[in-house]
Structure 1
Amino acid sequence: MFDAVIVGAGAAGLFCAARAGQRGLRVLLVDHADKVAEKIRISGGGRCNFTNRDLDVRAPHRHFVGANPQFCRSALSRFTPADFIALMDRHGIAHHEKHKGQLFADRSAEDIIAMLLAECAAGGVQRWQPCRIGNIAFSASNADGESAGSYQIETDRGTVTARSLVIATGGLSIPKIGATDFGYRLARQFGLPLVERSPGLVPLTFDGAGWQPYAQLAGLALPVEISASAATGSKKERMTFHEDLLFTHRGLSGPAVLQISSYWTPGTPLTINLAPQVDLEAELLAAKARSRKLIANELCQWLPARLADAWVQQDAAWQRPIDQASDKALVQLAHRLSRWEITPTGTEGYKKAEVTLGGVDTKELSQQTMECKSQPGLYFIGEVVDITGWLGGYNFQWAWASAHACAQALPVSDRKPVQDAVS
Structure 2
Amino acid sequence: MSLDLASLLVMTALVVNVSGVLFILETFLRRDEGAGRIWSVGFLAGMLTTLAYMIWAQSPGAWWAIAVGNAAFVAGTGCMWLGCRRFNGRSMTWTSVLVAGAVVAAGLAVAVEGSSGGDWAGALWMFVPLLGFAGAGAVECLRGTLGESRTAWVLGAVLGFQSLYYVARTTAFVTAGPESALFESVFGTVNTSFLTVALTIVAVVVTSVLRASRAPIRGYLRRSAESVADIGDQAEFDAGLAALVRRASARSEVVAVTAVRIEDLEQISTAFGSDVAAALGEAARAGVRRHAPTNALVAEDGATGLLVALAVSSEQEARRQAAAIYRGLFDDLGRVGGGVIPVVGVGVAMSGNGNDPDDLTRAARDSANRAARSVETTVLMGDAE
TM-score by length of 2: 0.23
TM-score (normalised: structure 1): 0.21
Structure of greater relative contact order (alpha carbons < 8 Å, 6+ residues apart): 1
Give the structure with higher Rg (CA): 1
| Structure with the bigger percentage of strand | 1
